[in-house]
Structure 1
Amino acid sequence: MGFLEERDLSEVPTIPEYYKGKTIFITGGSGFIGKVLIEKLLYSCSELDRIYLLMRNKKGVKSEDRLAQLYATPCFDRLKKKRPGVFDSKVFIVSGDVLEPGLGLSQEDRALLVNRVNVIFHVAASVRFDDTLKYAAQMNLRGTMQVMELAKEVRDLTAVVHVSTSYSNTNRDPIEEVLYPPLADWRETLAVCESADEHTMRVLTPKYLGELPNTYTFTKQLAEHVVAEYKGQLPIVIVRPSIVISSVEEPMPGWIENFNGPVGIFVACGKGIMRTIHTKPDIICDFIPVDICAKNIIAGAWIRGTKPLEPTDDIEIYNCCSGNLNNMLMGDLVDMSKHVSKEIPLDDMLWHTGGTITTNPVYHYIKVLVQHLLPAILVDTLLWLIGKKPMLVKIQRRIYIANLALGYYLTQQWTFDNTNFVHLRSVLKHSDEKQFYYDLETTDLVEYFTKCCLGGRKFLLKEKDEDIPKARAHCKRMMILDQTIQVVFHAVLFWWICMKLVQLFGIQSNLF
């Protein structure tokens, strides 16, 4: 448990008191976790001094316009209503890039951060499973190193939170809240990535990854060791979220801006375009709502930042995941997806809601050809004939590629130990519990995933709630069509079998 276990927290300030007057620097602020983190800080710790966001320059786009684009997302609707003006007065951009030397900061901006910042949240990362090792290493290794080097220069630093992933050590089970030995030397890896040509890197990548499934997991594991080298020098905690999905309550129920996790399954099943999923029904799904993740990150900085740094201090690690707090099996998730998709159908569904789990990879591939690709070709042919743009084969290709990328995670089980994660919430001050206590055990999963579906409908597909009755009517028509075709198909199959039997017996009677 580290230093958290031994402390007397009776005189420690509350979380809003800790953040009062502090200046915060955030990388990855325009991402899914980053937005919710910014919103929660401004909403619940409004007396913080200011937040600096590291953002890349965009040609022809002013920093004020980029901030306006960020603030225009629905994530900040609550803030606009209840804390008007706080974003405009406290959030600023510093131009830079995690991929560039020195984070691409100008001398003036670097001096500004060094002299003013008190808390650093390093959230930026390459999260794609199919990124080249060269790019993932530059983003996740060099980027993390650059942030740590900046942190060393900051004059009044109280906390640094490095956001990693629960899946950074998938070659182990169980996965505890400890720093495991790395599979490679991060400096050597970075040097090879920056000097080798593309062909050499393609050859070397499988050798480097070893037991790990992709460049994301591999480089995130090594990035933890970049951070670990500053143990005792910087006040660091590491937060490892699992698959981050829709919010439970904040900034609104069901807030989402990507198709990760169950929302992607809901949408694909709800549109009627996913009929088979390669996974195992008894695998436990480990998802973490984005607002719970943000609370854990904020509380992690608070518990670290309220203790003076000592050279002997360890780096506290939090597996920010559901663990055994509120489990759901993959089979139950797929069944719930089909149920919720019928209750809250999506607009213009192409076929009736469906989707079954297939454990055998060969059988799954056959079902993809028959149930995904062939119908997609037929639909695209019809669209082409009536003068519309074909699109279903392209969508099915994306689903198939996504399933391949996720296959490693959908067919294996890990046990995540989240003792520190649970313990941290238990030491929150009583006055902080309403705003920062994260509870997974009492969450009604059916109600939660219904909100996830509504959020996916609204925020991802831009569909309106008032169109749900119309979508339900269309869903019923698709169900009738689906059942009719199944009846016709089985009737034709039965007739064909009967005719074959008649022919067979006819031949045999002639022989006698």
Structure 2
Amino acid sequence: MLLEHSVNPENDGRGQIGCENEANNNRFDEESRIAKGTPIQEFYAGQSIFITGGTGFLGKVLLEKLLRSCKDLQVIYLLIRAKKGVSSAGRLDELFQNHLFDRLKKEVPDYRSKVVAINGDCSLEGLGLSESDKETIINNVSIVFHVAATIRFDEKLKLATATNIRSSAIILEMCKRMPKLKSFIHVSTAYANCHLKRIEEKFYEHPFKYEEISTLVNTLPESIMNEITPKVIGDWPNTYTFTKAITESYMRDKSKGVPMGIFRPAIVSSTAEEPVPAWVDNFYGPVGIVAGTSSGMIRVTNCGSDNIANLIPVDLTVNALIASAWDVYEQTNRRDEDMLIYNYVSSVDAPCKWGEFRKINLFYGLQYPLTHCVWYLSLSLIKNRVSYMIAMTFLHLLPALLVDTVTVCVGQKPKMWKMYEKIHKMMNLVSHFCVNDWEFTNDNVNDLWRRLNTKDQQIFKFSMQNFSWNEYFKSYMQGMRSHLFKQTPDSLEESRKRLQKLYWMHQALKTTIFLVGGWFIWNILNKFLR
């Protein structure tokens, strides 16, 4: 039968031509699809996007990536508040002067025509939007990223409620009126439910509703509100995580019929690869501790060596965020209680302990030292609070007191003690996340990664599997040196020579302390032994 079929000229000829035509058509379709773009790029093609928090650390990278990788998008409306006499449009122009956007300017010369500054402020009623701007957004926008938030852990509850909860409620109501809405992503935090030890990609019950918190902060005098804030937030370590939790509850209760998802990033850190390796523009969280250690100021911190440093590079975070909006649209049948929630963390697929974080950063900190470091690099991680306070007194406060005393004696203004007050305040605010561990699940994030085609996985890379922390922290130290401290590579040799001198001073001081301490103990023992 096989032979008969193969020698039949009629069947054979038509079948072969048909197969060739089908193959050619398939190749044409594939080439056409690639020419148009990947599934994610096609999703963003022709779309109008509204972004809040676009001038923040995460927001800047999101803006850059969308403009560079989704060239066919229609327009991005960026909510920006006027500041210090500079209009929102003026601040947008200043924003694009950042080194972060250099690659974008080369690859997408007409990028500026696709961004419109919208004057507004998330801490104000109605976001401070004019009626015309509000209607423009509602009538044109199809994709929303609500990134804006006050990330100050010690923010007063009234302002944190207005900025983090009320603004989200306003944006949700706007989304309900958007006839073209395809996807709305609310950016929360992986630690919104940090009062629990296991955090899955689902909603949790909370003791308060937004309406109750709103009534509380708008009724009570500020002095009383500040006094009772610790009791109100309860098991949450700060007003930031507490208000993020309440916002999630609000979104669950009020988002019926809205195509939305909640994106929960862990501790966002400098870029891993793009558009600029190791780019960072702030001293928040771990970056501040590394910067303080590199400058010789921080020598001890309240942190557990075996606890997980749940860091995530900002460029990978943004890629996952962009992909999540596509995913929400693709899975339009999942709403309300089944709303898609994405825990974007490193602790599941690429866990890194704080002890490893310390070891690698010290290693590369010695290779890429700062020109102005005041002492040799060293850092002790102490989990026990009492032991930490004792060490901090001897390694931070007493040296600061000694330096300030000498400074006053030579007629200059003391500043070390005040600097350490700021440093210790910052470290106290983040210590909760350095001495505790949480068990996260990230099934939705991994499922999303597997659904991307090969090209999208290349363009919007966000999987943390097989991530190299050693390479990341090597780049991290160099980036901090150049982007935060504005130090050029040609100053590196001078910095290393200075560090070598500080090393011998450090060893001499340790030897002196050891000898003096030994002498002191010997004299005490002699008195008792006589």
TM-score, length-scaled by structure 2 = 0.89
What is the CA–CA distance in structure 2 between the aligned matches of 1:343 and 1:450, rounded to whole Å?
A: 9
Match of 1:223 in 2: 247
Between Structure 1 and Structure 2, whose CA radius of gyration is higher?
2
Q: Does structure 1 retain, via aligned residues, the 8 Å contact 2:252–2:337?
A: no
Q: Does structure 1 retain, via aligned residues, the 8 Å contact 2:272–2:278?
A: yes
Q: Note the C-alpha offset of 1:312.
A: 6.7
More off after superposition, 332-341 vs 304-313: 304-313
Deviation readout 1:142-199 (Å, 9 max, x if unpaired): 1110111111111200000000000000111210000011221111111111121113
More off after superposition, 159-168 vs 178-187: 178-187
What is the CA–CA distance in structure 2 between the aligned matches of 1:378 and 1:91, rounded to whole Å?
A: 53
2:175 aligned to which of 151, 175, 178 = 151
What is the CA–CA distance in structure 2 between the aligned matches of 1:140 and 1:62, rounded to whole Å?
A: 23
SS at match of 2:386: helix
2:305 aligned to which of 270, 273, 281 = 281
Q: Note the C-alpha offset of 1:499.
A: 4.6
What is the CA–CA distance in structure 2 between the aligned matches of 1:421 and 1:480, rounded to whole Å?
A: 49
What is the CA–CA distance in structure 2 between the aligned matches of 1:203 and 1:330, rounded to whole Å?
A: 34
Are 1:60 and 2:85 matched, yes or no?
A: yes
Q: Does structure 2 retain, via aligned residues, the 8 Å contact 1:275–1:355?
A: yes
Match of 2:48 in 1: 23
SS at match of 1:169: coil
For 1:392-403, list aligned pairs within 5 A: 392-403=416-427
Q: 1:72 to 1:317 in 2, by over 3 A?
A: same
What is the CA–CA distance in structure 1 between the aligned matches of 2:374 and 2:188, rounded to whole Å?
A: 38
Q: Does structure 2 retain, via aligned residues, the 8 Å contact 1:255–1:455?
A: yes
Deviation readout 1:359-406 (Å, 9 max, x if unpaired): 221221121111101111222334444555433222211121112112
What is the CA–CA distance in structure 2 between the aligned matches of 1:365 and 1:165, rounded to whole Å?
A: 29
Are 1:132 and 2:161 matched, yes or no?
A: no
Deviation readout 1:207-260 (Å, 9 max, x if unpaired): 221111111111000101221123431100100001100111112110111223
Match of 1:443 in 2: 467
The structure, 1 or 2, with the larger RCO (C-alpha pairs under 8 Å, 6+ apart) is 1
Are 1:90 and 2:107 matched, yes or no?
A: no
What is the CA–CA distance in structure 1 between the aligned matches of 2:293 and 2:374, rounded to whole Å?
A: 10
Match of 2:18 in 1: none
Q: Does structure 2 retain, via aligned residues, the 8 Å contact 1:231–1:315?
A: no
Q: 1:59 to 1:334 in 2, by over 3 A?
A: closer
What is the CA–CA distance in structure 1 between the aligned matches of 2:479 and 2:160, rounded to whole Å?
A: 30
Which ranges of structure 1 fall in alignment gaps of 5 or more residues? 1-9
SS at match of 1:166: coil
What is the CA–CA distance in structure 1 between the aligned matches of 2:186 and 2:336, rounded to whole Å?
A: 19
Q: Note the C-alpha offset of 1:61.
A: 1.9
SS at match of 1:182: coil
What is the CA–CA distance in structure 1 between the aligned matches of 2:454 and 2:192, rounded to whole Å?
A: 33
Deviation readout 1:413-468 (Å, 9 max, x if unpaired): 11111111111111012221210121322222111011111111111122222211
What is the CA–CA distance in structure 2 between the aligned matches of 1:416 and 1:115, rounded to whole Å?
A: 38
For 1:184-199, list aligned pairs within 5 A: 184-199=208-223
Q: 1:113 to 1:331 in 2, by over 3 A?
A: same
Q: Note the C-alpha offset of 1:46.
A: 1.0
SS at match of 2:79: strand
More off after superposition, 334-343 vs 244-253: 334-343
Match of 1:33 in 2: 58
What is the CA–CA distance in structure 1 between the aligned matches of 2:379 and 2:38, rounded to whole Å?
A: 51
Match of 1:263 in 2: 287
Match of 1:3 in 2: none
What is the CA–CA distance in structure 2 between the aligned matches of 1:490 and 1:233, rounded to whole Å?
A: 69
Q: Note the C-alpha offset of 1:500.
A: 4.9
Specify the code of the residue in structure 2 equivalent to 1:47: D
Deviation readout 1:243-298 (Å, 9 max, x if unpaired): 10011111211011122343223212111111211122111111111011101110
Specify the code of the residue in structure 2 equivalent to 1:152: K
Specify the code of the residue in structure 1 equivalent to 2:70: C
Are 1:47 and 2:72 matched, yes or no?
A: yes
SS at match of 1:154: coil
Q: Does structure 2 retain, via aligned residues, the 8 Å contact 1:271–1:348?
A: yes
1:368 aligned to which of 366, 383, 392 = 392
Runs of at least 4 residues of structure 1 off by over 6 A? Answer: 10-13, 310-313
Q: Note the C-alpha offset of 1:90.
A: 0.6
Q: 1:77 to 1:387 in 2, by over 3 A?
A: farther
Q: Does structure 2 retain, via aligned residues, the 8 Å contact 1:75–1:251?
A: yes
- Identical-pair percentage: 35
Q: Note the C-alpha offset of 1:313.
A: 7.7
SS at match of 2:191: helix
Are 1:213 and 2:237 matched, yes or no?
A: yes
Match of 1:487 in 2: 511
What is the CA–CA distance in structure 2 between the aligned matches of 1:91 and 1:308, rounded to whole Å?
A: 28
What is the CA–CA distance in structure 2 between the aligned matches of 1:432 and 1:246, rounded to whole Å?
A: 22
Specify the code of the residue in structure 1 equivalent to 2:212: E
Are 1:162 and 2:177 matched, yes or no?
A: no
What is the CA–CA distance in structure 2 between the aligned matches of 1:144 and 1:403, rounded to whole Å?
A: 29
Q: Note the C-alpha offset of 1:30.
A: 0.3
Q: Note the C-alpha offset of 1:206.
A: 2.2
Match of 1:5 in 2: none
Q: 1:313 to 1:16 in 2, by over 3 A?
A: farther
1:232 aligned to which of 256, 259, 262 = 256
Q: Does structure 1 retain, via aligned residues, the 8 Å contact 2:38–2:455?
A: no
Q: Note the C-alpha offset of 1:39.
A: 0.3
Match of 1:317 in 2: 341
Are 1:246 and 2:270 matched, yes or no?
A: yes
Are 1:79 and 2:104 matched, yes or no?
A: yes
What is the CA–CA distance in structure 2 between the aligned matches of 1:311 and 1:300, rounded to whole Å?
A: 14
Q: 1:292 to 1:487 in 2, by over 3 A?
A: same
Q: Does structure 2 retain, via aligned residues, the 8 Å contact 1:428–1:437?
A: no
Q: 1:450 to 1:382 in 2, by over 3 A?
A: farther
Are 1:328 and 2:352 matched, yes or no?
A: yes
Match of 2:12 in 1: none
What is the CA–CA distance in structure 2 between the aligned matches of 1:265 and 1:21, rounded to whole Å?
A: 43
SS at match of 1:285: coil
What is the CA–CA distance in structure 1 between the aligned matches of 2:336 and 2:382, rounded to whole Å?
A: 51
Are 1:416 and 2:435 matched, yes or no?
A: no
Q: Does structure 2 retain, via aligned residues, the 8 Å contact 1:262–1:333?
A: no
Q: Does structure 2 retain, via aligned residues, the 8 Å contact 1:265–1:334?
A: no
What is the CA–CA distance in structure 2 between the aligned matches of 1:135 and 1:29, rounded to whole Å?
A: 20
What is the CA–CA distance in structure 1 between the aligned matches of 2:382 and 2:138, rounded to whole Å?
A: 54
Q: Note the C-alpha offset of 1:35.
A: 0.3
Q: 1:409 to 1:114 in 2, by over 3 A?
A: same
